[in-house]
Amino acid sequence: MICEQVESKFIATEDKGEVSSLLIRPEGAEWLLVLGHGAGTNMRHTTLQTIAERLSDVGIATFRYQFPYMERGGGGRESQAVALETVRSAVRAAGSAASDLPILVGGHSYSGRMSSLAAAEHPLEEVSGLVFFAFPLHPAGRLGTERAEHLEHVSIPMLFLSGTRDKLADTALLSPVCERLGRRATLHLLDTADHGFKVLKRSRKSEEDVFVEMARVVKDWAEELN
């Protein structure tokens, strides 16, 4: 499939300055997903790259971006306020880069949660839905649902893609969270996948590649939003 790839920069916040972004737009794209990275990775990490490639295969463009702390090479994360403003700036930049496409927002782990926090604080302009690639419901070994409390204030549809071996999202806790959110939430469990989407090939029931599975589910879910 023919894809357009455009690297650029945008202002994350007035204080933190510019961060990098990468637009991958397949021919005939129908959606644009603003896609953030995990807390300890960057927008070029293999996991995010693979997610973007498989989404491209099904006609979904992606706009990957960095948070300011990772643009500087890692280290300590900034305040939550900086992260939320960066999400909003990324959405605006993505809208400018592909103004003809409807927008979804999300990311792997940390960035997915920052996206939902931003949407709960104030609706994200022109965004049709949120996609969580491994929502970090709780720290490993510390079960709880406090990190999901803000989701009650998110008004747009949400898709949760969560592995059954994810140590940061116990299925017994995540399922009731999604049930309480009602029709706004869709939970798709990824058999034997962990937080980074590594699977147990011998015991996994499906022969479908987990990244192909996620892309297929995102596309089917997005089509229902129209």
CB 154 within 8 A of CB 116: yes
pLDDT for residue 206 is more than 90: no
Residues β-bridged to residue 192 = none
Query: Which residue, among 126, 130, 43, 124, has the nearest Cα to 88 in the 3D structure?
Result: 124
Tens of pLDDT, residues 18-28? 999 999 999 99
Tens of pLDDT, residues 106-135? 999 999 999 999 999 999 989 999 999 999
Specify the pLDDT at position 1. 64
SS (HEC) of 68-129: HHHHCCCCCCCCHHHHHHHHHHHHHHHHHHCCCCCEEEEEECHHHHHHHHHHHHCCCCCEEE
Give the end-to-end CA distance of the chain in Å, rounded to a whole number.
24
Tens of pLDDT, residues 151-197? 999 999 999 999 999 999 999 999 999 999 999 999 999 999 999 99
User: Distance (Å, rounded) from C-alpha 50 to C-alpha 155?
Assistant: 29
Question: Got the DSSP string for 151-207?
Answer: GGG--S-EEEEEETT-TTS-HHHHHHHHHHTGGGEEEEEETT--TT----TTT-S--
Which pLDDT band holds residue 16 (cuts at 50, 70, 90)?
A: very high
Tens of pLDDT, residues 60-99? 999 999 999 999 987 788 999 999 999 999 999 999 999 9
pTM: 0.96
- Measure CA 92 to chain center: 16
Specify the pLDDT at position 200. 95
User: Distance (Å, rounded) from C-alpha 113 to C-alpha 130?
Assistant: 10
Residues β-bridged to residue 10 = 19
Contacts of 24 (CB under 8 A, 6+ apart): 3, 4, 5, 52, 53, 56, 61, 62, 64
Specify the pLDDT at position 220. 98
pLDDT for residue 148 is more than 90: yes
Which pLDDT band holds residue 3 (cuts at 50, 70, 90)?
A: confident
pLDDT for residue 222 is more than 90: yes
